[in-house]
Structure 1
Amino acid sequence: MATERPLRADARRNRDRLLEVAVRAFSRDGPDVTLDAIAKEAGVGIGTLYRHFPTREALIDAAYRNELARLCDSVGDLLRDMPPDQALRTWMDRFVDYMTTKRGMGDALRALIASGGNPFSESRDQLTAAVSTLLRAGAAAGMLRTDIEPDDVLVGFSGVSLATAGPERREQAGRLLDLLMDGLRLQR
């Protein structure tokens, strides 16, 4: 079995830029946005786009999974840079942003699923692992309760996100996340 060679720095930048633009374009214009328009907005040729993503479905899948990875991979940096309770609260805001992006890409994701893809195959496991890490760090620091199921917390975040969809309700989402955070804190 051949192993994939790591991308050159310029190829990595092009790929990352294509994914960033694709999320924005699919959220704004839906699944029928032209790949040529995405390549142009990313500042690359269509051949570069197809080298990284041979099909529209591959681009949609990679764009969604990249957003998920960015969210989940941020846990380590947050825990390094701030106390665990603040890291969790900051991650909650990022989760709401992720859900907003996911909703924005809804038509594109549905088109991907209709073509036989499953962009969500690992989402729940990755999100639960991220929440688990944050909860364990908070419990170890004596800041968060130890009797919390990560999946329950994830459902709570999701509920807040769904109930407060739209930028005009972002302030309310923050207040609800603060309430949820208060319920997670260790009472002294």
Structure 2
Amino acid sequence: MRADARKNYSHLLAVARDVIAEYGADASLRDIARQADVGLATLYRHFPTREALLEALLRTSLDVLTRKAADLGSSMAPDEALSLWLPDAVAFVRSYNGVVAVMAAALDDSNSALHASCTSLRAAGARLLEQAQAAGTARNDLDGTDLFGIIGALGWLGGQPAFASRADRLVDIVVAGAILQTGE
């Protein structure tokens, strides 16, 4: 990629990150191009679809969360690993309004640009959950898809103004009360 094209690509991603964080996953691509001070054709040359733009924007964060799950799962007690990882996953989902629906749809669409990243994230969470279940510290009636759904629900809820101030507390309640077993 030429230097000017690489610069446009990086700039478009930075602007898209801000616009999508503010207006959600359905933000106008025309507005992203306008705010990046490039033509719509330039945006489409780099990102032929909205999903391609979202994949480029979200992939790094999804990959970081996937690696973090593996690191935590190999370095600490399973319940601690899950308790530390889950709030980060929820915070990621909460940071982009509308991304829950996009990620949920990508799980069922193997042709989606986001399918591989979302599937990897779900599998990483499932491994943490399975480790905690094997240790007897997590409910056995949950699976990775349930956990992915819980992350999405908590992320969406935390993005709602009426619940934003309670978002972290709600994550803690769900982890302690619905996922982990207290041994009582």
TM bin, normalised by shorter chain, reads: 0.5 to 0.7
Q: How far did residue 63 of structure 1 move? A: 1.0
Residue among 96, 103, 112 paired with 2:97: 103
- Tell me, yes or no, if the aligned pair for 1:26 and 1:33 is still in contact at 8 Å: no
| CA 1:28–1:79: 2 relative to 1, 3 Å | same
Q: Provide the C-alpha distance between the structure 2 equivalents of 1:74 and 1:14, rounded to a whole number of angstroms.
A: 30
Residue among 142, 145, 155 paired with 1:161: 155
Q: How far did residue 18 of structure 1 move? A: 5.6
Would you say 1:24 and 2:22 are equivalent positions?
no
Would you say 1:61 and 2:55 are equivalent positions?
yes
Identity percentage of aligned residues: 23
| 1:130 alignment counterpart | 124
- Tell me, yes or no, if the aligned pair for 1:67 and 1:98 is still in contact at 8 Å: yes
Matches within 5 A, 1:27-176: 27-28=21-22, 30-31=27-28, 32-35=30-33, 37-38=35-36, 53=46, 55=48, 57=50, 58-80=52-74, 82-103=76-97, 118-122=112-116, 124-140=118-134, 142=135, 144-145=137-138, 147=140, 148-166=142-160, 169-176=163-170
Q: Which runs of 5+ in 1 are unaligned?
A: 1-6
Q: Provide the C-alpha distance between the structure 2 equivalents of 1:20 and 1:82, rounded to a whole number of angstroms.
A: 35
Amino acid across the alignment from 1:145:
A
Q: Provide the C-alpha distance between the structure 2 equivalents of 1:82 and 1:17, rounded to a whole number of angstroms.
A: 38
SS in 2 for 1:103: coil
| CA 1:71–1:18: 2 relative to 1, 3 Å | farther
Amino acid across the alignment from 1:163:
L
| CA 1:186–1:59: 2 relative to 1, 3 Å | same
Q: How far did residue 177 of structure 1 move? A: 1.8
Q: Which runs of 5+ in 2 are unaligned?
A: none
Deviation string 1:163-188 (CA, Å, 9 cap, x unpaired) is 33246634422222222222323516
RMSD between superposed Cα atoms in Å: 4.1
Q: Provide the C-alpha distance between the structure 2 equivalents of 1:156 and 1:54, rounded to a whole number of angstroms.
A: 30
Deviation string 1:43-98 (CA, Å, 9 cap, x unpaired) is xx99xx87x93546443431133333332232123335554323322222222222
Q: Taking structure 1 as the reference length, what is the TM-score of the superposition?
A: 0.60
Q: Taking structure 2 as the reference length, what is the TM-score of the superposition?
A: 0.61
Deviation string 1:6-34 (CA, Å, 9 cap, x unpaired) is x9xxx999977764543223333632334
